[in-house]
Structure formats: C-alpha cells, structure tokens
Structure 1
Amino acid sequence: MDIPLSYLLPLNFAIKMKLLHLLLLLPPLVILVSSSPCYFSSVFNFGDSNSDTGEYSAAFDPVPPPYGETFFGMPAGRYSDGRLIIDFIVKSLGLPYLSSYLDSLGTNFSHGANFATASSTIIDENVPLSQGGCPLSSGVQLKEFLQFKSRSQLVYSRAFATIIVGVFKELMPKEEYFSQALYTIDIGQNDLNACCLQNKCGEDLIPNAKMVFSRAVKNIYEKGGRNFWIHNTGPLGCLPLFLHQLKLNDEELDSAGCGIRCNKLAQRFNTMLNETVVELRRELPLAAITFVDIYSVKYLLISQAQKYGFEQRLSQLVADYGGGDYNSHFNVICGSTCLCQRSQRVLLGKSCKYPSERISWDGIHYTEAANKWVFDQISGGKFSDPPNSLNLACYQVASDLNGSRSFM
C-alpha cells in the first residue's frame, strides 16, 4: 500500500517511523484485491482414495455398487456415493472431470490427469494388495506423471504428424498447459494407518514422509509446475471404521467422540507438512503454493454436524451398513456380498436411504454431500495459507516467503 509523501511531511520523525513500522506489519492481502482470476488450463492430481477417480479400479479391483449411486447412478471409480472434493475443484475451474491415468476407456487428458490411487502412501510400503496395500505410492505416481508429460507431447512432434490421427491431439494437453496447470495433492492418510490402528509408528516415519513429499514437489517444479494446491490430512480419530476397530473408552475420546491419540498423530503429520511447504516456498521462488487445512474443516463438520444439516452422533454418520456401535465393520464393508438365501448372492454393504444426511459413506470416506460442504469451505481461502481462494491460487503474497501460520 503506497502512502503519498505529502501525508508524512507534517509529522515529526518519530511519528513517521512508527507509522512506517505499522505499515510494514500490515498483512499483504491487499495484493489480491485487484487480481484477476487465474487461468488454469488443466489440473494434475496426486493422492489416495480421497481423490481417486478410477485409478485403482482400472489397475486392480473395480469399485462395486452401491458406490457412485447418488450422482453417477453407478460405480465411477470413486470411493463415495458421488463426487469427491477434486471433482468440485475441477468443476469450479470450468474443466471436465479428470480421467485417471491408467483408465484406457473413454479418457480425455487435454485438461489434465489424475494419478491418485486408493490405498496409496507417500513412502513406499511392502504391503500386499490382499492386505490393503498399494504399489502406486507417491513416487510411482510421480513417475507416471513424468512419463505422461513426455509421451503426451509426441503427438505434436513432426515425426508423428503423419502417423498419429489428428483426434489424438485433442485428447492430450499442449506443452504450455503443464506450466499453466494447477497441481493438487492430497496424500498421507494411509501412511498413518498402522500408527493409528496398531499404535506401531517408527520414529523416522514422518521425517521420511517429509523428505519424499518435498522431493516429489521439487520434481514437478523442475518440469514446469508452478501452481500447487496442497491438502493436509483429515482427523483420523474421527473415522467410524477406525473407532469401531479401536474400541476406545471415554477417556480416550474427545468431546466430539473422536479418538484423541489418532487425531494427535494426524496433527503431528500436518505440522510436518506445513513445515515442508514453508521450506518449499523458500527453495522454489517461482512457485505459488497454497496449503489447505482440510483437518480443521472436516473436524468442524464432524463436531458440529447437526448445525450444518447432518446427523449428529458418530454412530449415525455412516451411510454404509455394517452394524455395531458405528454402523461399520472391517468384515462388512460397503459393497460386501455373501452367498446366502438359497445360494443367491446378497448385498450386505448397502447404502442408507438418505446419504445426503450423513458425513461418512463407508466408515473411511465421505459422502458427496460432505465432500461438497468441505469444498465450499476451502474454495474461498478461509482455511488456506496464504488465504487465496481457489481461483487465485496462482498468486504469491509476501507471507509465502516470510513463513506460514501453523495448522493442525
């Protein structure tokens, strides 16, 4: 903010210095007041099941009914009854829903690609698929992106001009799109699962996750990525399926009914992630990095569910049928079937009648209604650092370089 010199001349020197000191302390939000909305030609997403739009289904097992029933009317590769936060992000930017990188049918990558895969972790893990593991960690997703960036540009080369039919060009991003794109990242929850459920957590887990996460962002930056929208992880201790498994007593639960230990673990991870983002801002001067406090938004929703139009008690938050105190069970998950009633296959993991009134869809993932509510809160910048709205996420402000406020 510029102050005309004539305003300062009548003041004595001490007052001038005090006024200038106060001006320097003012937050730099005024920079954003007259800024035009960013142009994001495309979105490239990395993450786990919170933003998987079909990667796991294409590579391994397809998501079964009743997933997808609310919006798509059928399973659509998403772990919800409908759309995810990433779907609302791209829609708000005027882009089509993202195709998963490994999906070979009906894909269109001209506006970006989704590399997020259910069960993925930041750090490589040696957990087999049969035990809930996934080989497509953040490092593999990065390799997929680097290969995609290289191979997608072959359709624009002269060597392929006479071989590749013109329609393929329309399905691939142009080279400049990679620097104009928004890179969204939501991963880390699965790295903490064993720590939360089994209370087995190596001291080097979070430091190693920090190193791998930082390296991935730097690799994207080196390939031209400039605009990053990074989510921290949600309150693990509020997941109904985890609460069912842990069977905590009252002293181990907070006022919202969430597990204290698991939530503190998520907060430790988020503190690390916040520190990583601060360091990345210093090391990547051309990057605009928006850090989004998903934890606080989701905890707000769960702790005040009734206020926002959802069922209040955690035992009522699950749209899936599983039974027990939390209507959730590891052996009866959403879409589970059994051979019973005269050898006929019967669906056990049914959805409830009104999923729009529930927060959790299957004990781990959120309903479309909850995802939409979370998106509405984060898209305006209230829970972000810097406090950029989604459509201004290409801008840097002074606080990017000077530090960051702490997040849960």
Structure 2
Amino acid sequence: MEKVTRRRTISFSFSFSSFFIFFFFLISSNLLFLAGKAAAKFSHEGDNSNNVTALFIFGDSFLDAGNNNYINTSTLDQANFPPYGQTFFGLPTGRFSDGRLISDFIAEYANLPLIPPFLEPGHSQKKLYGVNFASAGAGALVETFQGSVISLRTQLDHYKKVEKLWRRKFGKEESKKRISRAVYLIGIGSNDYLSPFLTNQSLSIPMSQHVDIVIGNLTAFLHEIYKIGGRKFGFLNVPDLGCFPALRVLQPNKESCLRDASRLAEMHNKALSSLLFKIQRQVKGFKFSLFDMNKSLRLRMHHPSKFGFKEGEEACCGTGKWRGVFSCGGKRIVKEYKLCKNPNDYIFWDSLHLTQNTYKQFANLIWNGGHMSDSLVVGPYNINKLFQIP
C-alpha cells in the first residue's frame, strides 16, 4: 500500500590500506552476525516428506517481504532503506514495517524457515518450504498501480513457476501432496480501493461495481490455485482504510476518517466473506480461515492502551498531521520526517503500514483464534489448524 501522489574517533596509527581492511572486516562481520541472528530464529527441524508443510504468500505491502527490491519501481513502492526493519532485522529488508510482518510470525509458529521473496536471488533450498510472492502496491486488478508493482495475476504466474520447480525436484506425485498440504496466505484488495484517493482520481463506476470486479478477479485467482492443487487458504480482509493517517490528511477535516475509503473496505469484506463460504459449499476440500483485520485494527485504534499501545492514530514515522505524509526514511517525494522513540508504543509504523508489534498481535489471533472463541477469526479453521490438516 503505497502512493501518496502518483506519483544523521577512534584514532589509530596504521596505513590507509590496513584501515580499509579492518573496516571492511568489521562491517562484514556485523552484517553476517545480524543475518545469522535473524535466520537462527527461523530454523526448520528437518524435512519429513510425510508431514512437511509449506507457506505460499500473495498480496500487497502488508505481506511483501522484499520482492519490490528487485523490480524497476519508485521508492513509493519500496522500503529498502532505514529506518525500515530497524526493530528486528537491524537493517532494511524491503518490509513496510519496523520489523517482521504477519507472514513472518506465521512461518515461525509453523516451524518453517523465514519465507523468501520469489525475486530474491539464490536461496533455492529455502524456497522448498514456501515462497513469498507479495508486492507492495499490488491489487487484485491488473490496472492498480500498473507498471510499478507485481499484480496478483503476475504473482500467480510466479507461483506456477515454483510449482513446476517442485515437480522437477520431488516428482509429480510428491509435489502434488506438498502443494495440497501447503497453506496459502492471501492479503489483497487494499490498493484497489486506495488508488483512486492516493492519485486524486475518482471512480468511473459505482462503488458496488468496483468491488464486484475486485472480488471477481480474486475468485478467478482462487480457482486457479485450487486447480493446481491448493486446498488450504488463509485470508486477511481489508482494514479500515479511511482511518489510516495517509487518508485522513487528504480531507479538510483531518479529525475524522475518509468515509468513502472506509465504505469500500466494508463492502469488500462482506463480499469476501460471502465468497469464501460459497466456495466452501461448492468446491470439495476447500478449507479457509478469514481474519477480520478491519475490526481488529479499529479495536486497537479506539482502545490502544487495552492492547499495550500508547498511540492509536498517529504514525511512528512520517511528517505532518498524524504523521500522515508518506515520507518515512526521507527517500520519497517529501524528504522531511520524524521518527518515534519506541515503535512498540504505536499501531501505525508509517502513514499506510503497521508496526511489528501490531502485526505480531494479529498473527497470534490468526494462529490461535476461532469463530467460537474469537470473533476476529471467521471460518471452520484458524491457521494453526490448517497447517495440521494432512
């Protein structure tokens, strides 16, 4: 979720060359230490072909682990510069947060390695436990920020390449089993509804029709994954977009949410829930979990202290009212930005994205919740149960 417009001595007496070698060694050692520290948290305990699972991730900036680092796009759609990543990784990774995302926590809870971006060079062995295809700015519609992001349609094409790789690696039958055991985590749609507001345009069709087209594209995507062999799906619905800092600063009365954006999110979420229950009734073996990200976010914004936060509306990183100008890192159109002291106190990291602390709370709900115990997770399963299904 991206666009706001379319577009801070030690003295040694040795030679310069010695200093360079020392400096290079010091930096390299620190980077290796940081990378090893992060990777150690996500080690996978063996590969038992009888119960091995994988995680495939599709979506936008809420789930993008760095695919946009490798495409020709603007910094509006990238987060590969400080202070992004500072809380956990110690360096930017391309994630639109101060640290980890929902998908990173889900992988950890499932005892999987850190799921790599599809476009990240190398790491072919790690990709045998899943792949992250998400792209910041992407939508279910190909037209959403077209040319700057990896659309859901293209993400599906990338997935098909991985499926072919698995067939070559494991053989047809074993690959088919692994595909069916895998969990597919999907968070898409926000940019389809944000883009008209962030580009100062208006919808050319009624809201309901726009939502129908988005849901139609998502339906086609799900049927394609099912046809290939996917059976277990986890979904994030669209958050209350109108109450994001970046949307609130677009209207004269910055004290309230942008009503039309919130309305679109609400319409989408009703349609998404109906779609999933319909597919479940009609398609054999289709299993799903739907997380109400919208309601969960609103609860935290309205009652931040109840969930351990000190600030529920202002972003940690940015400038202007609510720090709603998308300037975090000083690499975008507006260079000025302020950074809070402790991101854990904030729900919003920048004007369009959430902090690691928020994402972790969401991941815990997705993993453990259920429609009988927690109204924020809808469906016969939570993600934990999906991973347990053979």
- Which TM bucket (shorter chain)? 0.7 to 0.9
User: Which residue identity is paired with 2:379?
Assistant: P
Listed as ranges, the matches of 1:235-384 within 5 Å are 235-248=240-253, 253=256, 258-312=257-311, 314=313, 317-322=314-319, 324-330=320-326, 333-337=327-331, 348-349=336-337, 351-381=339-369, 382=374, 383-384=376-377
Instruction: Indicate whether 1:193 and 2:194 are aligned.
Output: yes
C-alpha contact (below 8 Å) 1:196/1:261 kept by paired residues: no
Question: Residue 287 of structure 2 contacts residue 381 of structure 2 at CA under 8 Å; is this kept in 1?
Answer: no
Aligned equivalents of 2:105, 2:316: Cα separation in 1: 21
In structure 1, the partner of 2:15 is none
Selected match of 1:52 from 58, 64, 73: 64
Counterpart amino acid of residue 321 in structure 1: G
Residue 119 (structure 2) pairs with residue 123 (structure 1): no
State how far apart, in whole Å, the 2-side matches of 1:122 and 1:313 are: 29
Equivalents in 1 of 2:145, 2:235: separation in Å?
26
What's the CA shift for 1:105?
3.8
CA distance in 2, matches of 1:272, 1:199: 24
Q: Deviations over 1:159-207 (max 9, x none)?
A: xxxxxxxxxxxxxx95421111001110000000134454722233211
How far off is 1:337 after superposition?
4.6
Q: Which letter does structure 2 place at the counterpart of 1:390?
A: I
In 1, Cα distance between the equivalents of 2:157 and 2:90?
33
1:57 to partner: Cα distance:
1.0
Task: Tell which structure's C-alpha radius of gyration is larger.
Answer: 1
Q: Kindly tell me: are residues 114 and 94 of structure 1, through their superposed partners in 2, closer, same or farther at Cα, counting changes over 3 Å?
A: same
How many Å apart are 1:384 and its aligned residue?
1.9
Kindly tell me the number of residue pairs found equivalent between the two proteins. 324
Secondary structure in structure 1 of the residue aligned to 2:348? coil
Does the Cα contact within 8 Å between 2:53 and 2:178 map onto a contact in 1?
Answer: yes
Q: Which amino acid aligns with 1:123?
A: L
Q: 1:81 to 1:210 in 2, by over 3 A?
A: same
Say which SS state the counterpart of residue 210 (structure 1) adopts: helix
What CA distance in whole angstroms lies between the structure 1 residues aligned with 2:196 and 2:170?
Answer: 47
Q: Which runs of 5+ in 1 are unaligned?
A: 1-37, 159-172, 339-345, 397-408
Residue 109 of structure 1 aligns to a residue whose secondary structure is helix
Query: 1:154 and 1:249 mapped to 2: Cα distance?
Result: 55
Whether the 8 Å contact between 1:80 and 1:368 is mirrored in structure 2 is yes
Separation in structure 2 between the aligned mates of residue 300 and residue 376 of structure 1, nearest angstrom: 15
CA separation of 1:355 and 1:277: change in aligned 2, threshold 3 A: same
Compute the TM-score of the two structures, normalised by the length of structure 1: 0.73
Structure 1: how far apart are the matches of 2:362 and 2:171?
Answer: 42
Q: Deviations over 1:100-132 (max 9, x none)?
A: 111114452011001111100101116455xxx
Distance 1:276 1:395, change over 3 A: farther
Using structure 2 for the length normalisation, give the TM-score: 0.76
Counterpart Cα distance in 1 of 2:297 and 2:211: 22
- Give the partner amino acid of 1:354: N
Tell whether 2:225 aligns with 1:220. yes
Alignment gaps of 5+ in structure 2: 1-49
Preserved contact between residue 334 and residue 349 of structure 1 (Cα < 8 Å): yes
